Chain A
Amino acid sequence: MLNLDTSQVSLSREEMERFSRHLILPEVGLEGQKRLKAGKVLCIGTGGLGSPLLLYLAAAGVGRIGIVDFDVVDVSNLQRQVIHGTSWVGKPKVESAKNRILEINPHCQVDVYNTALKAHNALELFANYDVIVDGTDNFPTRYLVNDACVLTGKPNVYGSIFRFEGQATVFNYEDGPNYRDLYPEPPPPGLVPSCAEGGVLGILPGIIGLIQATETVKILLGIGTTLSGRLLLYDALKMSFRELKLRKNPATPPITQLIDYEQFCGIPQATEQASQAEIPEISVAELKARMDAGQDFVLVDVRNPNEWEIGRIPGAHLIPLPQIENGDGVEQVRKLLNGSELIVHCKSGVRSAKALKILQTAGIQGKNLRGGILAWAEAYDPSIPKY
């Protein structure tokens, strides 16, 4: 059980009323509510996971909440990042979150860190808190959060999501396993699509984030059985929860210091640019000029059919990336081309570059539309939504 000093903590009359439903729970009671107030929780990210869990941690009476995020609220966040409201679009997420937390519970001390979590600031930040909650969205930061938790001896309440599925567990708690015991290494960039690329059901992070909030509160209270040693899998479409055993792996090398996580996750900037450079590009202005001049070329859109429904560039042929990956799409492109020049596009240019690499190995050359349909929409067609 976490060592929380409640000797100096008291609850005002107003707080007693506010938390009365906790106070009458024998498992929480006055001492438990004081533990929550004495508790200090640091949440990394105020996005899909961070939003719901921060709302409930604030409401539950956690005394001090730190929030780390460098981003500003975007209108496309509002589908799931429920701590932020429409009037906060364009403003820092940490400020928006702080405002909402204090509206829910003015007794909460909110520390905002409008910065990215990096190896140079993680240990110092973590040292001031009892529990760390991982609501990040990328592998380098997840390994950083894990390693910094191990080095500072803090429990890491973990959740992650993809489309309709989520994972949750508690790492590094009471000598339990950590993230590297589950996955020793991250996938190479590009192999696993992100939520921005793959989409996510807006409610999904609500479920997973509140599982994280529940585990955080249990750890602060020292009650129940946490998810430490168990990986919880959630599937929203099936509405199923499954549990897998998670053990310490004796083969995992000990964590002794923080490292370069971008490099660890295979994101050396130079290599990325070099591999991009192998694929010739074309700008939306050049594409427009070719269209206007009636030049002969074939434009292939490798996005998914549901994205095609949102908007399309005139004259484009839809051949989704998965079809190109399984080979059928390569033959479709070959048939379409019949000697013409090939231009490929997707939403922003990443998937089309991937498609062109596959086509190259099949002997088909083409150009990648820089910035994808988003750049096209920006320059020539405001009727296409920026999704």
Chain B
Amino acid sequence: MATKILIPAPLRPYTDNLEAVEIEGSNVGEVMRNLIARYGELKRHLYTEDGKLRNFVNVYLNDEDVRTLAQGDNTPVGEQAVISIVPAIAGGL
């Protein structure tokens, strides 16, 4: 089953400029692993060298921060689920 992942503007250079991609996987962790397997350049922008999600990037399953979910990365993705990647942006001027 493919899950829709919304890609924010700062990361689109690493997903062939796509704003959304469909990725297979049964839970959030698997979908994200398959995402960075397909778009290798994304990996260093999302994860530290020891594989932890970077502290200035949040991943949401629908409207919930995956880090706050009881099952975290192992949370199953539902039929209509949307995953959002939301990095910190600082612009204001």
Query: Which A residues are within 8 Å of any B CB, using their own CB?
Result: 45, 47-50, 77, 81, 134-139, 142, 159-165, 167, 182-187, 191-196, 198, 200, 205, 231, 233, 238, 242-247, 249, 322, 325-326
Contacts and interface: CB of A to CB of B under 8 A. Distances in A.
Given A137-B92, A326-B14, A164 B9 contact: yes
Interface string B19-55: 1000000000000000000000100010000000011
10 contacts: A49-B93, A137-B91, A159-B92, A162-B10, A165-B8, A165-B89, A183-B88, A198-B91, A233-B84, A244-B65
Interface string B66-93: 0110000000000000001011111111
Contacts of A185: 54-56
A282 to B, nearest CB: 27
Given A81-B93, A134-B92, A249-B68, 6 more contacts: A137-B90, A164-B9, A194-B90, A200-B91, A245-B65, A325-B41
The binding surface of chain B is classed by DSSP as: mixed
A273 to B, nearest CB: 22
A195 B91 contact: yes
Top 4 nearest A-B pairs by Cβ distance? A47-B93, A185-B55, A137-B93, A195-B91
B92 A45 contact: yes
Taking each of B67, B84, B88, which has the highest tally of chain A beta carbons within 10 Å of its own beta carbon?
Answer: B88
Contact of B88 (A45, A186, A247): A186
Contacts of A231: 86
Nearest to A51: B93
A135 B93 CA distance: 7
Given A45-B93, A183-B88, A192-B90, A325 B13 contact: yes
A327 to B, nearest CB: 9
A134 B9 CA distance: 22
Nearest to B55: A185
Contacts of B91: 48, 137, 160-162, 194-195, 198, 200
A48 B65 contact: no
B65 A247 contact: yes
A169 B58 CA distance: 15
For chain B, give the interface size range: 20 to 34
Contacts, number: 111
A316 to B, nearest CB: 21
B9 A162 contact: yes
A142 B55 CA distance: 15
B93 A187 contact: no
A192 B86 contact: no
A231 B89 CA distance: 13
B84 A242 contact: yes
Nearest to B93: A47
Given A184-B55, A187-B54, A192 B68 contact: no
A15 B12 CA distance: 50
A187 B92 contact: no
Given A160-B92, A183-B58, A200-B91, A192 B65 contact: no
B1 to A, nearest CB: 22
A247 B90 contact: no
A142 B88 CA distance: 11
Contact of A142 (B14, B60, B67, B90): B90
Contacts of B14: 325-326
Given A244-B63, A247-B65, A186 B92 contact: no
Contacts of A184: 55-56
A139 B90 contact: yes
A275 B73 CA distance: 36
